[in-house]
Amino acid sequence: MKHTFRLRIYYEDTDCGGVVYYANYLRYCERARTELLESQGASLRKLMDDGVYFVVAEAALKYLSPGRYGDILLVETLVERAGPASIVFSHSIRREGTNQELVQATVKLGCVGKDLKPMRLPAELDGIRKMVQTCP
């Protein structure tokens, strides 16, 4: 199942030439993952209150074309894999209207406890496991 998150590019997201600053795409992917998890009933606030946290273990981005001030972007997110203590997400960031792909990203999250040691994904994320698009 693909989840789509829509966002507008504001002046604060860009450099002086009106082009999206490259690191902001990581923020957009983070927002999209949060929305995906919440849409599946996985409250990050509740998980954090229960001592369950997610850390970025790996991130790879491929920049294809620049986003610009005023663009509306669509961040499409898929769950690629869900292991015992990690989840791998793939993201495709496209410009609304033209559907031009701007960025491809893959991000691996590790599940950790308050001590920052790895822990198994909690039962609240069973719905995420069902979203897996490919086998590990």
Instruction: Write out the DSSP string of 86-122.
Output: EEEEEEEEEETTT--EEEEEEEEEEEE-TTS-B-PPP
Among all residues, which ones are annotated catalytic? 15
Question: What does pLDDT average to in each consecutive run of 10 residues of the chain (136 residues)?
Answer: 95 97 98 94 93 97 98 97 96 98 98 97 86 57
**Domain containing residue 50:** 3-129
CA distance 17 to 31: 24
Does 117 fall in a domain?
Answer: yes
Does 134 fall in a domain?
Answer: no
pLDDT digits (tens, 9 = 90+) for 64-83: 999 999 999 999 999 999 99
Does 114 fall in a domain?
Answer: yes
CATH number at residue 63: 3.10.129.10
The token pair at 88 is 């791998």
Does 73 fall in a domain?
Answer: yes
Q: Are 2 and 77 in contact (CB under 8 A)?
A: yes
What's the whole-model pTM score? 0.91
Number of domains the chain contains: 1
